[in-house]
Amino acid sequence: MKMGHFQIHDNESFIEDVVNARNFLTHYDKSIEVKAKRRQELYQLVQRIKFVLEICFLIELEMSMETIKALVSRNQRYQYLARQ
């Protein structure tokens, strides 16, 4: 997914990280603990998930891509994510 300067470069890794985090935090399975993100990496993963969901909501509200890009380019949280 690409939005302005923020981009998920490797969709498969992003999905795998989300699945591993969810599975570990739901089941506390020690065999996947090493795969699950922790601390700062988990925080950054959650921020990326929030970004994706927020963009999806804006699209569902039928906002134009130009408007969404303008909102993203002005938002400090998104700018922080883009630098990570």
pLDDT of residue 36: 75
**Taking 70 as the threshold, does the pLDDT of residue 10 lie above it?**
yes
pLDDT tens column, 25-60:
778 777 776 677 778 788 888 888 898 898 899 999
pLDDT of residue 58: 92
- Name the residue ranges covered by the structural domains of the chain: 9-83
Give the Cα separation of 78 and 63 in Å (integer).
18
Count other C-beta atoms under 10 Å from residue 22's C-beta: 12
DSSP 59-84: HHTT--HHHHHHHHHH-HHHHHHHH-
Band the pLDDT of 3: cuts 50, 70, 90: very low
Band the pLDDT of 66: cuts 50, 70, 90: very high
